């Protein structure tokens, strides 16, 4: 009788769990979890194992990582990627915030301007690349303008200016999304705070740093995080503009991994992918810790 009662209790608890919201959520998420595991999680796990495999079939080894870190091509690609992220992300976030603050006011042609910054989000990448090629080609619009003023033509994508061009492409492509996020954050700030600040005689600068920037902290964290992740996706535009072997200034990690893949050096590609994933995870962890420390300090 005791065993039967225990079985009935277990059966009722199990049936309640099956009908619970947690189980319902699990069944709703199951297709996405299966797809994520098949197309992302399992291949990445195989890449981790492949990064330790000996190309001669001798078992597991760290030689792939040693060769990778000593490779001049990898060092160049890693340094270029780091510099690109360190330079382009702060510029993108600052310009996005300034434009969002401007568009949040009642300015002339505000609706037209809001339509303009959304256009890069819907324009195909091939069209974007075509526009930038027309601008920065040897016979392009930029060279035609500077030659009109008596200056020499410049091969933009095969000079030190190539990095500057890619930063412009990155900012132009991603600025609209960041502005949308900042505008959403600005419109969620209660207007009563600004009214109270006006009654207390606070100036625009005081309200900007004491109210706007404080309540935009979660949005700013999200914008920085998305900008960092998008900075690692600039390979698509760079590849279409400059090809598989661009100028040394814009030779990124994705170029290195793409070229190693074409040469069928799978172990080195896997090692590079693992290191890149670890760097991205470290950046995300630092951003989370910084945002949490800032929130605790403000509280």
Measured distance CA(261)–CA(33) in Å, rounded: 28
- Please tell me the number of Cα atoms within 13 Å of 229 on its side-chain side: 11
Model pTM?
A: 0.80
Predicted pLDDT of residue 19: 58
The CATH number that domain 68-298 falls under is 1.10.3720.10
Per-residue pLDDT of the chain (299 residues; tens, 9 = 90+): 445 555 554 555 655 655 566 677 777 788 888 888 888 888 888 888 888 887 766 677 788 888 888 888 888 988 999 999 999 999 999 999 998 888 887 766 666 666 677 777 777 777 777 777 788 877 778 888 888 888 888 878 788 888 888 888 888 888 888 988 898 888 888 888 888 888 887 788 888 888 888 888 888 988 998 999 888 888 777 877 777 778 888 888 888 888 888 877 788 888 888 888 888 889 888 888 887 887 776 66
Which of 107, 103, 83, 105 is CA-nearest to residue 95? 103
pLDDT at 68: 85
Cβ-proximal residues to 5 (8 Å cutoff; 6+ apart), any chain? none
pLDDT of residue 253: 86
Backbone angles phi, psi at 53, to 5 degrees: -80, 140
- 60: phi then psi, degrees, rounded to nearest 5: -85, 145
Question: Could you tell me which of 241, 257, 74 has the C-alpha nearest to residue 158?
Answer: 241
Question: What's the 3-state SS for 47-111?
Answer: HHHHHCECCCCCCECCHHHHHHHHCHHHHHHHHHHHHHHHHHHHHHHHHHHHHHHHHCCCCCCHH
pLDDT for res 89? 93
Q: What's residue 92's pLDDT? A: 93
Query: What distances in angstroms separate CA 213 from CA 103, 138, 154, 188, 221, one per listed residue?
Result: 16, 43, 41, 13, 11
Q: What is the DSSP letter of 153?
A: P
Non-local (6+) Cβ contacts of 281 within 8 A are none
């Amino acid at each position: 009788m005791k065993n039967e009662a225990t079985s009935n209790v277990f059966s009722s608890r199990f049936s309640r769990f099956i009908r619970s919201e947690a189980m319902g959520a699990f069944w709703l998420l199951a297709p996405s979890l299966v797809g994520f595991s098949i197309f992302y999680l399992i291949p990445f796990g195989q890449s981790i194992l492949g990064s330790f495999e000996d190309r001669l079939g001798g078992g597991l080894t760290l030689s792939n990582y040693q060769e990778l870190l000593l490779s001049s091509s990898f060092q160049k690609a890693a340094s270029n990627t780091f510099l690109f992220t360190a330079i382009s992300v702060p510029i993108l976030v600052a310009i996005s915030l300034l434009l969002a603050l401007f568009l949040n006011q009642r300015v002339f042609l505000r609706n037209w301007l809001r339509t303009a910054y959304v256009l890069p989000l819907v324009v195909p990448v091939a069209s974007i690349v075509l526009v930038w090629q027309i601008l920065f080609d040897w016979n392009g619009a930029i060279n035609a303008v500077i030659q009109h003023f008596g200056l020499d033509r410049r091969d933009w994508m095969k000079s030190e200016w190539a990095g500057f061009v890619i930063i412009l492409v990155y900012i132009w492509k991603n600025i609209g999304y960041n502005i949308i996020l900042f505008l959403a954050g600005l419109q969620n700030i209660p207007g009563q705070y600004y009214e109270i600040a006006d009654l207390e005689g606070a100036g625009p600068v005081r309200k900007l740093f004491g109210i706007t920037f404080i309540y935009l902290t979660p949005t700013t964290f999200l914008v920085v995080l998305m900008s960092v992740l998008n900075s690692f996706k600039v390979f698509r535009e760079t590849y279409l503009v400059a090809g598989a072997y661009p100028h040394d200034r814009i030779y990124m990690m994705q170029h290195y991994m793409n070229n190693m893949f074409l040469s069928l050096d799978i172990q080195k590609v896997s090692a590079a992918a693992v290191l890149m994933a670890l760097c991205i995870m470290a950046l995300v962890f630092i951003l989370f810790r910084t945002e949490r420390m800032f929130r605790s300090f403000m509280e």
